[in-house]
Amino acid sequence: MSIESSSSLLDPSVLRLRESLEACVLNLDDTSESNNAVAKVVEILDSISHVSQPEDENSVPDSAISEEALQEVYLCLSNSPSREMIIDALSMELPKVVSRMGTRSEKCYKIAKDIVELFLSTCNPRDMVAVLCEALDVEIEESQAPQYFLLLLDGLAQVLVLIQRRHLEQVKVALPVVLNVLSKVSVLHLEEEYNKSIADLFDSAIRIGGSIQEMCKNMDGRRKEELCALLGLYILCTIAFVSKSRQKISSCITVILSSLLNFLPFCGFSYFGLLTGSNVTTAINKISKEDDDDFVDCFSLSKDGASLSVIWSRVSGDIANPIGEELEIVVKEIQKNWIDMWQAVGMLKYPLSSVSYTWEIKEHALEVLSSILDGDSLDGPKDQNFDFSPFVPSIFTTLQAIQIVMMGAVDPSLRKKAFVVLKKETLLVPRCYRCGRCSSSELLKSASVTSNNQ
């Protein structure tokens, strides 16, 4: 993009910025002076980025000042005789403030994007991953408006594919930061006015997934398997975030979800593995051997996403089935094995118990659960010594989640559906557990009373 210098009278802050940029160029050989000049540039840009729109009609709009400031930065970086040196000197600080200024107007966004791309094309890719992640970390503490993160996330998507070595390590740096942004922004900004920005945010998240997928294609062996596992967990968490926000981005929900679901076969995920949770368990085992608990915890919504992936594929005719399996056939396969069946029951507690998902999603989760519990072969394990106790906490949690739906839903038909599923599950719990002091029979008794009163 060619940017011409403004012919209008420059704002005083833009003149100071020009002087500071010139000082950066002149003092590249003096580390101390160069650092001081860089700090001054950042200080001026930061002050411009925080200027509010003036109430005086005769004042210059802050967007116009931001455009002039961004033009000055771009011209300095692209035209300086010491282009690479000046870009390197400013690369640690400018992406964050430039990205913030890019939200002021469409023109600001275009110039800011060109500036960020100058850094990406010139600087060491691994250094830029660290710079962009630090900028995201800082920005999420200052603002949760979606548009503030688009340039940084898109920059991260671009730079990941430029990395030549230590790919896995760089992805492990980036993903916790990206998921933190998606979590905080998607939860806080569901108002109608943020529709497009939220959609753009998830589009950026999808592009990051695409970059990781390209990295996987160029790897082999154990490290490829681990990177594919990371990609899969990241996609499942993103599906969970989208599901929380879907009411406000309904016009593009099918496009976003279709794009996310298309990653699942590449990661080796199947309906069977998603429903039973075995895909999630396997993926976490691949990444957790050398990583601390905090890193693994950033994928805490992956089980939500696994169940939701199956639900979305089942209920929306507009979303293609990328996995290629028939859900009904997979359900019959799960019904053949007592362990698989109870694992699937336990997985569906995630969308049922969370207040973040709508009643519509909970209704579809109940339908999937009901189909799993309807099999003719569900008469107990063939092994008489089968140890049922490991499944008890998860099963009772699912029962409690169903009861909450039954008691809290406004729609009478949904309350009735929840009661029917609750009864089905309870009757499949071995008799010795149903007769216990803290058994599911208490939940069923309570549910029966509630149902009779509705």
pLDDT interval class at 70 (50, 70, 90): very high
With a cut of 70, say whether residue 144 has pLDDT above it: yes
pLDDT interval class at 74 (50, 70, 90): very high
> Among 235-244, 346-355, 439-448, where is mean pLDDT lowest?
439-448
Percent of the chain with pLDDT over 70: 82
With a cut of 60, say whether residue 440 has pLDDT above it: no
Show the tokens assigned to 329: 């056939």
> Among 73-82, 198-207, 242-251, 306-315, where is mean pLDDT lowest?
242-251
Q: Output the pLDDT for position 434.
A: 63
Q: Is the pTM of this model over 0.85?
A: yes
Which three-class secondary structure string do you get for 22-70? HHHHHCCCCHHHHHHHHHHHHHHHHHHHCCCCCCCCCCCCHHHHHHHHH
Q: Output the pLDDT for position 439.
A: 47
Q: Output the pLDDT for position 274.
A: 96
Instruction: Compute the average pLDDT of residues 7-36.
Output: 80
Q: Output the pLDDT for position 58.
A: 43
Q: Output the pLDDT for position 325.
A: 79
Q: Output the pLDDT for position 327.
A: 86
Percent of the chain with pLDDT over 90: 47
pLDDT interval class at 54 (50, 70, 90): very low
C-alpha to C-alpha distance for 447 and 454, rounded to whole angstroms? 11
Instruction: Compute the average pLDDT of residues 404-415.
Output: 93
Q: Output the pLDDT for position 263.
A: 95
Instruction: Compute the average pLDDT of residues 124-137.
Output: 94
C-alpha to C-alpha distance for 248 and 159, rounded to whole angstroms? 30
- Per-residue pLDDT tens over the stretch 96-123: 999 989 988 899 999 999 999 999 999 9
Domain ranges of the chain: 335-454
Backbone phi, psi, residue 8, to 5° = -75, 165
Per the prediction, the chain carries an average pLDDT of: 83
Q: Where are the beta strands (DSSP E) in 267-309?
A: none
52: left (phi over 0), alpha (psi -120 to 50) or beta: beta
Instruction: Compute the average pLDDT of residues 6-19.
Output: 75
Q: In the block, which residue shows the tokens 């799993």?
A: 372
Q: Output the pLDDT for position 316.
A: 65
Show the tokens assigned to 353: 């118990």
Show the tokens assigned to 104: 């002021």
Torsion of CA 424, 429, 434, 436, to 10 degrees: -150
Instruction: Compute the average pLDDT of residues 369-397.
Output: 76
Q: Output the pLDDT for position 212.
A: 96
pLDDT interval class at 250 (50, 70, 90): low
